[in-house]
Structure 1
């Protein structure tokens, strides 16, 4: 029995050592920065610009002001699309950092999933930024492209969450929290969560939908802080056990 317990403890220690506290902190920083930019964009729409509109102006809730994926008819609202686009690029880098934090030798499939997932968010961010630069939605605006990118991101996050669950539960949770940024996640927020919070369902985009998405991204950053803390604590315990055996 003692031998079995020793083997289990060794396996748990080895598993914990596979998690890099440094890369977990990098991922946390990138997710929190992305969340901050998402929050700024949402508050610019729902607080700053909403307060400046008159009765004769088009409602701030109109879908033409949606900046998460610019598509005709679309109007750039202040700097919302810029902030959101850069935020998505940071989020894509954050996903790559999470992969580095839990990397192991035989991770070919995980690397492919990570790259595909990160690229889907990165392309979406580039689409938003290019749309701002040219003044109208880029050629990526069409629905099939949006659906493809979002499904790759959605399925990729779920797959990575499953792959990383046994290595770092906190990293797995972070992936699930990022689902809010995908089309299925944002749709759930817009039609279920946001109306429950603000008290009504908009005819178009319910106020503060993007704010809730930003909060979910920030929660993913907090989850990665937890992952870093758990990894650091596990290393200290492992080092202490190693000294006791000497």
Structure 2
């Protein structure tokens, strides 16, 4: 059984070397078209809906292509790190408004947790962006502390907001929790290394959460105005 596993692993490593570069060396950067990082890493090598145990797909699953956070040894694929870094910076800004979007008067602990999560997210986003621009690993300013904070605090924050939020505001917090790192571990690890297209799951969760909050913010004023109009109608 061990011999079979060893042969399988060696075969996959060989597929990585062949798929990454024919001369057997790992390239400094695997280039792709000027599109989003998710598309660059997976679309050409691991088409959606097809088998992922192929010689072209296995190299892209290797953890040396992961970029959140990038770590040595690291082989960038196109501009994936730049897109991820920009996304994290934008998400950090949006995160600062989350408690007030879900709770009218958030408690101080929620506000502090949100601020810490946003700072850590911005720190990692900037490090990822700089790594992508320079083609080499740039560590976050907070180092290991940034990684630990992002691994634990946002999930606790989202679950806490899901508890204290009212009614139909709760799904937004739940969707954000599905995209948090501890939950993402359940769908981001495949049979080899990274599961192809796993970023689409977390990205879709964040987009749905944002769309849900926007829809709720649009509907809430109209509902309030309608109730005030109804209360102002004189009754017999």
Q: TM-score, normalised by structure 2?
A: 0.69
Structure 2: runs of 5+ lacking an equivalent? 1-34, 48-53
Residue 210 of structure 1 corresponds to: 199
Residue 69 of structure 1 corresponds to: 69
Spell out the pairing of 1:130-169 with structure 2 (5 A cutoff). Answer: 130-140=130-140, 145-163=146-164, 165-166=165-166, 169=168
Q: Distance in 1 between matches of 2:156 and 2:75?
A: 30
Residue 16 of structure 1 corresponds to: none
1:180 touches 1:213 (CA, 8 Å); kept in 2? yes
Spell out the pairing of 1:11-30 with structure 2 (5 A cutoff). Answer: none
2:172 touches 2:213 (CA, 8 Å); kept in 1? yes
CA RMSD of aligned residues (A): 3.0
* Residues 50 and 78 (structure 1), Cα distance of their counterparts in 2 relative to 1, 3 Å cut: farther
Q: Distance in 2 between matches of 1:180 and 1:105?
A: 25
Runs of 4+ in 1 over 6 A off after TM superposition: none
- Which has the higher relative contact order, 1 or 2, with Cα contacts under 8 A spaced 6 or more apart? 1
When Rg is computed on C-alpha atoms for both structures, the one with the higher figure is 2
Q: Distance in 2 between matches of 1:92 and 1:105?
A: 20
Please list the CA deviations of residues 113-159 of structure 1 after superposition, one character each: whole Å capped at 9, or x if unmatched.
22122223222212211222343222339666423322122222222
Q: TM-score, normalised by structure 1?
A: 0.67
Select the structure that is richer in helix: 1
* Residues 56 and 212 (structure 1), Cα distance of their counterparts in 2 relative to 1, 3 Å cut: closer
